[in-house]
Amino acid sequence: MVAVLAVFYPGSGYPQQTKGVKRPPRSPPELPIQARLLRWPGHAPVIQEANFKRHAMTPKYRSCALVTRFADARVAESAGLLARHLAARGVLPLALLGESDHFDGEAILGVSEDELAERAELVVAIGGDGTLLYAAGLVAERGTPLLGINRGRLGFLTDVMPEVMLSSIDSALAGECEVDHRELLEAELLGDDGQTIRGLALNDVVLQKWQSGHVLDFETWINGRYVNTHGGDGLVVSSATGSTAYALSCGGPIVEPGLDIMVVAPICPHALSDRPIVVSGRSTVAVKLVDRADARAEVSCDGRLLGAMSPGGQLIVRPSGRRSTLLHPVGYDYYRLLRSKLNWGRRSFDTPG
């Protein structure tokens, strides 16, 4: 009796006999020419064919805006590489007018801020968190997905490292990234002349004094209830996302981004008892300047100036009902991100490495 060992060729549907052959084995099914070109020794043909199909598939997004600043040569290099990669995938790269001139020889379309918000189906911010916040402000009204490539310093929001940039872009185009919805704050600045200015913020709304060397006196009200009269440099009203930004330097807590809260944190308060507080994310926070002869402040949303504030005016911060959509690589872990950025998890006698 002859022992027969049968080995299944992937996708063939029949065994090949390796011992005691009684009939010539049939040829394996013909693979597409593109897949055959990817058959290197030691690699399973079906796996290579799957990789080819992933790159050849129709991308989820047809246009992608690249938002970056070219002052850093490393950023410019990453942006150029990414523009070529997107074009090879059949995705139209977009950039703001003026910035598009830096893409030498690249097929990239320069557009205005309004046109970018209208045409971009995906936004990639290359830089630090400030760059991503600027990009988020451009598309805040539309909720366009954002992916952050970290070429800055801390990078709590730009969490994709340069060495995995292209594979992360491919995952985004294939719809394989983790989707993270972040609530936006709305700031409403009521002027003493009756005019109203509105803005949106992913991180925080900041009230700060106009002149250095002067203490700013102001009142806070939450949901129509008086809270405190403060003396200091200003106030940060932060979302959970922004708890690792300006509010953190004011002594505020680190808050998991999924929690529906706001952090109200005084900036350099004169009274040591004037501490940050955490309130419901559904709250309405109102700020009024105390009437002083030199009282004047300015309000910003994610670092963008919204307007000036004088006694008789009022700043109101509330949930906007809109969300920004952040994309993360599969396996994203917020606590691992904190360990990386804040050097947690190291013993006192460990040397940084």
The pLDDT mean for the chain works out to 84
* Residue 194 confidence class, pLDDT cut points 50, 70, 90: confident
pLDDT of residue 153: 77
- Give a three-class secondary structure readout of 263-316: EEEEECCCCCCCCCEEEECCCCEEEEECCCCCCCEEEEECCEEEEEECECEEEE
Rounded to whole angstroms, the Cα distance separating 171 from 59 reads 10
With left for phi above 0 and alpha for psi between -120 and 50, is residue 302 left, alpha or beta? left
Ranked by mean pLDDT, which of 99-108, 209-218, 314-323 comes out on top? 314-323
Active site positions, annotated: 129
**Stretch 28-41: mean pLDDT:** 34
Residues 6+ away with beta carbon under 8 Å from 48: 35, 38, 39, 40
pLDDT of residue 214: 82
Burial classification of residue 166, based on how many CB atoms lie within 10 Å of its CB (0-12 exposed, 13-18 middle, 19 or more buried): middle
Percent of the chain whose pLDDT exceeds 70: 81
Residues 84-128: pLDDT tens digits?
999 999 999 999 988 877 776 667 899 999 999 999 999 999 999
In the chain, the domains with their CATH numbers are 63-177+329-342 (3.40.50.10330), 185-321 (2.60.200.30)
* Residue 50 confidence class, pLDDT cut points 50, 70, 90: very low
pLDDT of residue 119: 96
Q: What is the pTM of this model?
A: 0.80
Q: Which of 37, 38, 50 is nearest to 11 (CA)?
A: 50
Token readout for 82 is 């990414």
